[in-house]
Amino acid sequence: MSQSKHAEYHVHVVPLRVLFAVFAALIILTILTVGVTKVDLGGLNIWIALGVAVVKAVLVALYFMHLRWDSPYNGLALVVAFVFVGVFIGFALKDSLEYQKYVERPALLDRLQQQTIPAAVPSEETTEESSSEH
């Protein structure tokens, strides 16, 4: 028989009560996300949606992926990954907002907005039908 020097694998069973509580929290957070879209908070809507998404991702990682009971190194790797994603998104947003003031409106869009659309004129068929009914 071969003897392994690896650590023994031990199973961690999460109680159903905890799983259902996390599931309920995810459902409530999803409802919150949908509810926030119905209220106009301006630029705050996207930040609230992103915050709720991060909380949901952390809940899934901690409980459904068992990171809560895993080695601290894996938790650290998750936190570092979230930080780098946040930094990347932050720099991308800063960069895109920096150039927004230099983007000009297309002239075609201005012309289309200035044009007036003529009112619909009833056709001869509809005027004949309406006069014959009376």
Supply the DSSP string of 5-68, one letter for each residue: -SPPP---PPPHHHHHHHHHHHHHHHHHHHHHHHS--TTHHHHHHHHHHHHHHHHIIIIIS-GG
The yes-or-no verdict on residue 1 having pLDDT over 70 is no
Given a contact cutoff of 8 angstroms between Cβ atoms, the answer to whether 62 and 68 are in contact is yes
Of the pLDDT bands very low, low, confident and very high (cuts 50, 70, 90), residue 127 is low
- Mean pLDDT, the chain, as a whole number? 79
Q: What is the pLDDT of residues 57-97, one digit of tens each?
A: 989 988 888 888 888 888 888 889 888 988 898 788 777 76
Which two three-digit tokens encode residue 55? 């909380």
Instruction: Write down the pTM of the prediction.
Output: 0.56
Instruction: Give the pLDDT confidence score for residue 26 in this predicted structure.
Output: 95
Q: With 0-12 CB in 10 A as exposed, 13-18 as middle and 19+ as buried, what is 70?
A: middle
